[in-house]
Each structure stands twice: as structure tokens, then as C-alpha cells.
Structure 1
Amino acid sequence: MSTGGSTTAVARRAARGDVVRAGARAGFVARGVLYLLIGVLAVRIGLTGTGEQADKGGALAQVAGTPFGAVILWALGIGLVGMALWRLSEALFGGAGPKGDKPAKRAVSAARFVFYAVSSFFVLSFAAGNRDSGAGATDRQSHDITGRLLDLPAGQWLVGAAAVGFLGAGLWMGGRAVMRKYRKRLTWATMSAHQRRFMDVTGIAGGVGRGLVFAAIGFFGLKAAIEFDPDEAKGMDDAIRSFAQTPAGPWLLVAVAAGLVLFGVFSFGQAKWRDV
């Protein structure tokens, strides 16, 4: 075997080894904590109209105010690094299961790697003392990035393409949750009936709630592109609050928020039963 082939084989074994799998499970736990906190903050907003921020920064601010908050923040950031590295390994070498090597699945894993790499940087920056990534940061960043893109040649098309990506991702997340696509990624055959019901309830409701938030971000991004107005773009907090402006009022916001809480709980279940 050539040196190049041997190196690739070693890298492939490492990517599918215990360390990477442990990192993936830690990442699911970290993701679960963040979504659980975001969902709780969003429920408070829907019920009381509080000025708290229902985004990652708001969740991190809540963690920072607890005993051992600094330690927990670093643990969350490192957990998300583990998730990013696992997704990178899937992009490079394929994921678990018979169809894990399909190009489309590897491309999705690459996109998820970028998402979790950015998320881990965001959390670690906050843990290191950069409070610019705190509460409300997603809204500010959404406005700033949209404004910069709109200033570029073909900026409206760039913003529109990104918005369509978010909108499509949200619909894809919600649709896959309703169709229970997550089951094939779990050790379903070895799970008890109670465990299966737990994952179905949290997986469907959580996936739909998360998908609606991503779709809302995409919708307002598309509106910003069409109207050439960066102020129309919304981050997670503003997107969640927008549900209260629908005819269903605050109760739709609370329902979506409950979905985010359940998605956090679902992530804890994935940490235990996901086939990685």
C-alpha cells in the first residue's frame, strides 16, 4: 500500500474512532442545552413580553449567570467543536450506515460542519469574554451581514439566495421531522417502546418548531432582498418574536418556543441513541 493510501486509511479509522464519536455525543448534549434555554426564554417572551433575548447569546447569558457558569460555557463550546469535527469526518469519509458515502449526504455534512464550526466559535468567544456575541447578537449580525451583502454587486441576489437556503432548510427540517426520518439514524431496533415514543414526541414537535424558526429567518431575509432593506432581515430572536405578530398572537410564539424546548430534549436523546 502507498504512503498516501496508508495515511488515508489511518485518517478514516480515526474519523470513525471512539474519540470522534464521543465528541459527537458531547455536541448533541451542548446543542440540547442551548435549544432548551432558547426555548425557555422564548416561552417567557410569549407569556410575559419580557425583553430577554431568545437566541444563542441570550442562552449563554443565562448560563453565565449560574454557579460554575464559566466552566459550563467552555464545556458547551468544546462540545460544539466535537460536533463540528464529527460532521467534518462525515464530509471527508462518509457517515454511518449503508448510504453514508453518498455525495449528497457528504455535502450536507460539510454544510453542517460549517454551521457548527461557526456556532462553536461563537460560544467559545463568549466564554473567553467577548460579550459582542451575547444577547441579541444574531439580530445585529443579521442586519450587518445583510447590509454588507446588499452593498455588493448582485447583492440582492446573494441575500436572496441565502434567504432561500434558510427557508428551504427550515421546510426540510420540519418535513423530515413529520416523516420521522430521524428514526433511521437511531439505534431504533434496540430501543424500548417507551424510548421510541419519547423520541417520536420530541423529534416531531422539536423538528417542526426548529424548522419554523429557520423558515421565518429565511422569509424575512427574502423580504430584505426584495425590498433592498437590511432592517427587514431578522436573527433568531426577532424571528421568534415575529410569530406573536400573526393572527394566532403570542400563543403561536409559545407553541414554537415549546417546540424548541422539545428539540433540546430530543438532542439529549440523540446523544444516547444516535448511531454515530
Structure 2
Amino acid sequence: MNARTMSLRGRSKGRQAANSSAMDAAARWGFMARGTIYLLIGLLALQIAFADVGGGGGEQADRGGALAEIGEQPMGSVLLWALGVGLVGMSLWRLSEALFGASGPDGRKASKRLLSAGRFVFYGFVAYSVLTFAAGDKSGSSGDQQSQDITATAMEQPGGRWIVGIAGAAIIGAGLWIAVRALRRDYHKHLKLSQMSRRVRQFVDVTGVGGGVARGVLFGGIGVFVLQAAIEYEPDKAKGFDATLRSFADAPAGRWLLALVALGLVLFGVFSFAMARWRKV
């Protein structure tokens, strides 16, 4: 057996593993975990909008606040571990896409696989933060503090100001990309549309478009603050989910803008649940 044959067999086995029922379950569990976190972040942001806009009280409207809310529920510790494991599953699924290609005719394109690799790193980081929180380490639970710490560390490097500025511009671009893809309903190509009724498709579109646009606006806002930190050379200008959401309250009709974005994040959480059911994996 020559090396080429062995390589082809190895790739074939890898694709079989990537398309296995275990990987399918891991991906769907991951979507459920993502949906739970975004749903709670949206609900916490709604509380801020109508109870404490611009104030410092209440839970953080970010991943740390969502995890704290879960931890206070009956069997909260078990739920936290379940979320962490689900996000590990999401990360591994994205890794399998990066290594062997995603579903669909263009799933093996280099650009698609590179995007999956980026998502693998992102969800791996999120999974790690959730699992460390579940294990009792709350030191990194503040997304705002994490953003400032990462920005400060980056600025200490040679050319750090440029690195942070480019990162801020990239996050703004990512937010715009997320919103545009949602408006174009690009997620349709990943759904089992033939198995969905007309009402289900309409419901998914409401959650997918509304949730995707709100998520894009939030990421865009985070990018603006990172870019501002680079321009003014002040790491403390960087913000995470919570501070960015609260900053919307300073805009005209701020309470309602914050409430609208918060409602969109709730919709994105529901959309993630729909993806867990109808996504092609």
C-alpha cells in the first residue's frame, strides 16, 4: 500500500468521523448551549433597559452574567457543565469542518475551512471560559475586564497600537458581515428547508434576521470601542458585551435602542435552538 492510498484512506476515515452521529449530536448540543447563553444575555439586557439604564446595578449583560444566572438555579452547576460540554462539541464540529470540509457543495473550499478554523478557536475559548466558571473560577467572568486586559496586553507589544486598531476594524467588519448575512438570509442554505412547514420557515426567518442583525450591531459596537482605544491609546476604552450594551442607552431614545438590541439577542438565542433542530450538519 503506497503513501497516497494510505493518505486517501485516512482522509476518508476522517470525513466519516466528521459526519458521524456523534459529531451531529455534538454540533446540535453546541447550538443549544449557544442559544441558552444568548437568550439569557438578551433577557439581562432587557432588565437593564427597563430597570437600570446607564446604572451600575444588576447582573452583567454578558456571558459572565448569563452563567451567574444559570448557577443560581436548581442544579445550576450541572447545567453549567452541560453548557460547557455543549460548546466543546461545537468547537470540535468546527474543527472537523476545518480539517475535512463542511457540508454542501463548496464546503471544502479553502475560505470555508479557514472560517471554520476561526470558529473552532472562538468556540474553544468560550467553552474554556464556561468550563472554568463551572469549576468555580469566577475571576475571568467579566467580559468588559477581559476586553480591557487583552487590549492593554496587545498595546504593550511592538506595534501594539496598530494591532489593536486593526483588530477593532476587523470586529466592526465582522459585525457588518453578520448583519448583512442575516438580512440576506444566507443561513437558508444550511437549513433543511424541505422538512420545515411554511410557518416554521417564517418563524425561523423572524428570529434569524432579527437576531443576526442585533448580534451584528453588538459586535460592531464592540469593534468601535476597541478602535477608539487604539486611537486614544487608552486600553480602558475597550468594552465587552455588557458595557457596549449599556452604552446604547446614551444614544437618542437610548432605552428603546437598548431594548431593541436586547430583544434581538433573545431572538438569536431562539434562532440557535432552531438551528439545533433544522441545521444540516
Query: Above 0.5 in TM-score?
Result: yes
Distance 1:3 1:182 in 2: 36
User: What is the match of residue 84 of structure 1?
Assistant: 91
The residue type equivalent to 2:28 in the other structure is R
Instruction: Decide whether the 8 Å contact of 2:81 with 2:134 is kept in 1.
Output: yes
User: What is the match of residue 43 of structure 2?
Assistant: 40
Cα-to-partner distance string for 1:52-111 (whole Å, 9 max, x where unaligned): 200000000000000000000000000000000000111111101111111111111111
**Match among 71, 81, 85 for residue 78 of structure 2:** 71
**Match among 118, 127, 134 for residue 127 of structure 1:** 134
TM-score by length of 2: 0.96
- Whether 2:227 is the aligned partner of 1:213: answer no
User: What is the match of residue 158 of structure 1?
Assistant: 163
The residue type equivalent to 1:37 in the other structure is L
**Match among 82, 103, 109 for residue 110 of structure 2:** 103
TM-superposed deviation, 1:150: 1.0
Instruction: Decide whether the 8 Å contact of 2:11 with 2:100 is kept in 1.
Output: no
The residue type equivalent to 1:144 in the other structure is D
- Mark the runs of 5 or more structure 2 residues left unpaired by the alignment: none
Cα-to-partner distance string for 1:148-184 (whole Å, 9 max, x where unaligned): 1111110111101111121111111111101111111
3-state SS of 2:139 partner: helix
User: What is the match of residue 94 of structure 1?
Assistant: 101
User: What is the match of residue 9 of structure 1?
Assistant: 12
The residue type equivalent to 2:76 in the other structure is G
Q: Number of aligned pairs? A: 274
TM-superposed deviation, 1:133: 2.8
User: What is the match of residue 146 of structure 1?
Assistant: 151
**Match among 192, 196, 200 for residue 191 of structure 1:** 196
3-state SS of 2:178 partner: helix
The residue type equivalent to 1:180 in the other structure is R
- Whether 2:242 is the aligned partner of 1:237: answer yes
**Match among 177, 184, 190 for residue 179 of structure 1:** 184
Instruction: Decide whether the 8 Å contact of 2:175 with 2:216 is kept in 1.
Output: yes
Cα-to-partner distance string for 1:17-62 (whole Å, 9 max, x where unaligned): 1111110000000000000000000000011014320000000000
- Whether 2:119 is the aligned partner of 1:116: answer no
3-state SS of 1:25 partner: helix
**Match among 49, 62, 69 for residue 62 of structure 1:** 69
TM-score by length of 1: 0.97
User: What is the match of residue 267 of structure 1?
Assistant: 272
Which is worse superposed, 47-56 or 192-201?
A: 47-56
TM-superposed deviation, 1:198: 0.8
- Mark the runs of 5 or more structure 1 residues left unpaired by the alignment: none
TM-superposed deviation, 1:3: 2.9
Cα-to-partner distance string for 1:201-231 (whole Å, 9 max, x where unaligned): 0000000111111000101000101111101
